[in-house]
Structure 1
Amino acid sequence: MFTRSLTSRTTVALSLGAMLILSGCSSDKGDSTATATATPSTEPTAAASAIDIPDAWSGVIDTTAIPLGDDRTSTSPAVDYLYSCKTDFSGRGPVNGGPWIDYDAGTWDATTKATVEGALSWPQAYYDEQVGHDTRTILTANLPTEQMTGAFPIADTDPVKEFDRNPNEIDEKLVELALTLSPAIASEPSCVAMGAVGVLKNGVYLYNAVDASGGDAVAHETQDRCDGHPDGGDFYHYHDVPSCLRDAAPETGSTLVGYALDGFGIYIERDSNGNLPTNADLDECHGRTSTVLFDGVEQEMYHYSATREFPFTVGCYVGDPAPVPSHEH
């Protein structure tokens, strides 16, 4: 087992290619003055062959009218749904629905969604992958290695407090996650628990698509410039592949941006027009089988694919998920 003290400050660059410029926020939300330059990683390049990406996906999502994912948890795998282990949602989500949500139409506008103020960098962030004995051990501080975050708890002076009163802080954490190095498809898909469903290669946990009330977390919860925020345990996290990583990925082709708990890769896949797939292009677990670059080898294998539609990344697990360290919950 690999261990690492939080006092060790080795930052490993996010493997989105050797020369990517990472923006501090999404172009969906306006320009940002904060940028960071990625440095070449010692990991294999993440840019995969686009041989199995169609010239055009089946459709294009209008980011001003993204289908709202409320009431889309299910007790079995289904396209457009999150196969959720939790069926009774008694928690509370954001206080008020923001003006970017059109409840009558059942859509929300990502281009006008409010953003938490602040631009904090995290020099103590790191992301390490250690490979051995059929296991990929991921070590992080659960802080973004390249991107800035907003200021949490949300300040009383921040206009978004009208919609979300997130009182939590962003804390440095010692995360040691052991994933299988050779993921395999299980006999049947399994449900997704609350909390982490994977980890992204900038060192931050990826959570499932719903908030404590069972609603669409990406649409409802007020997040920062990189679409992240902390939970009640002060774990910073995303509920989708965030805008800053999407914007940093190549305009076409396939980019590995993280791993689901079952060991399969999570990819940004853009067609020749630069568009992401829609749910109609993916299976009930929000993935597909095609040729991707995985551990430096082009191979045909299953993988999850990021979309702008709920459930955004992992809808259910096709493989057997590794346990999340008990300190998270």
Structure 2
Amino acid sequence: MLLVLTASIATSKANGLPDHNHGQFPNRGNPHRISAQSYQFRVTLDPKLAKRIQPSGRYTFGVAINGVPFDPGSAEYWKNDRSTGWRKEALNVPGKLGMDHNNAHVQPTGAYHYHGLPHGLLEKTSPNQHSPLIGYAADGFPIYARYGYRDSDNPRSGINELTSSYELKTGNRKSNEPSGRYDGTYNRDYDYREGHGDLDECNGRTGVTPDYPDGTYYYVITADYPYVPRCFRGTPDDSFKKQGIGRQHPGSRPQGRPRHDGPPHHHLPMREPRF
């Protein structure tokens, strides 16, 4: 991914192909073939916390440093009815909708995207070190994965695996809901409980990181729900807004078909902005 910097905006241009091996597409759970896209995302260099939290549903949440989008929501709903609000969790449904080992799969447009921890991107990370910067959210705040400082303001406090503050509900769903126990199949199987984990409602927190020694708000991709954050603490840029009914990423125009499970796809080097 190439970042073009101006005084206040970084514009990322990418084809959306990962720089690590990916699974075979099409596959039994996902009929789509991965193909190059033409992405152009704008990221503010001066992100600010907004007065209100904004759900990320209408937006692609963010983009990884290799140009692959983070987009946690699935297009699958209870009774195939979006109005029910019972959206299926892409990582928790039988067959996992054709997910590969990177918790990623392909949209009808050929767009490869992450629903959870991008393991191929994290191959060189260590549980004994703070996560490297792995991307930027649509509101400009940085994205990390899994590991951070035990004390968010103290880089000498040791390393913890950061956990979300969402928990699975107990018992059975109600009569007007999908049958069965709250088992994580649907987004509404979870409740946010402030202070339950290390992170806030948007799976983020404020603190110092190796890239931001003076401190910043940042998001974390976690091993537990919500995996990829589902809301913004800042104001997302419209370049991340989804097209149509939300199934397509912005700028998703197929440009060719890469070889499956072959050598990693290389991108232009990314210049990391400092907010």
TM-score range, shorter chain: 0.5 to 0.7
* CA distances 1:59-92 after superposition (whole Å, capped 9, x unpaired): xxxxxxxxxxxxxxxxxxxxxxxxxxxxxxxxxx
Equivalent residues in 2 for 1:214-233 (5 A)?
A: 214-220=87-93, 221=96, 222-233=98-109
Q: Secondary structure at the match of 1:240?
A: coil
**2:154 pairs with 1:277:** no
Q: How much has 1:219 moved relative to structure 2?
A: 2.2
* Aligned twin of 2:61: 197
- Give the whole-Å Cα distance in 2 for the aligned partners of 1:287 and 1:210: 21
- Give the whole-Å Cα distance in 1 for the aligned partners of 2:61 and 2:3: 17
- Give the whole-Å Cα distance in 2 for the aligned partners of 1:227 and 1:170: 15
Q: Secondary structure at the match of 2:205?
A: strand
2:215 to 288, 294, 300: 300
- Give the whole-Å Cα distance in 1 for the aligned partners of 2:124 and 2:90: 23
Gaps of 5+ in 2: 78-86, 151-157, 166-196, 242-249, 254-275
1:188 to 44, 49, 52: 52
- Give the whole-Å Cα distance in 2 for the aligned partners of 1:212 and 1:232: 14
Aligned pair in 2 of structure 1 residues 217, 229: CA closer, same or farther (>3 Å)?
Answer: same
Aligned pair in 2 of structure 1 residues 195, 184: CA closer, same or farther (>3 Å)?
Answer: closer
Q: Secondary structure at the match of 1:137?
A: strand
Q: How much has 1:136 moved relative to structure 2?
A: 1.1
* Aligned twin of 2:204: 287
Structure-1-length-normalised TM-score: 0.54
- Give the whole-Å Cα distance in 1 for the aligned partners of 2:221 and 2:116: 8
Q: RMSD of aligned C-alpha atoms?
A: 2.1
User: Identical aligned pairs, as a percentage?
Assistant: 28
Q: How much has 1:247 moved relative to structure 2?
A: 3.6
After TM superposition, which residue ranges in structure 1, 4 or more long, deviate above 6 angstroms?
Answer: none
Q: How much has 1:249 moved relative to structure 2?
A: 1.6
Aligned pair in 2 of structure 1 residues 194, 240: CA closer, same or farther (>3 Å)?
Answer: farther
Q: Relative CO higher for 1 or 2, CA cutoff 8 Å, sep ≥ 6?
A: 2
Aligned pair in 2 of structure 1 residues 194, 309: CA closer, same or farther (>3 Å)?
Answer: farther
- Give the whole-Å Cα distance in 2 for the aligned partners of 1:263 and 1:292: 16
2:142 to 265, 272, 278: 265
2:24 to 142, 151, 159: 151
Gaps of 5+ in 1: 1-126, 155-160
Q: Secondary structure at the match of 1:292?
A: coil
Aligned pair in 2 of structure 1 residues 195, 321: CA closer, same or farther (>3 Å)?
Answer: closer
Tell me the amino acid that sits aligned with residue 203 of structure 2. Answer: H
Structure-2-length-normalised TM-score: 0.64
* Aligned twin of 1:320: 235
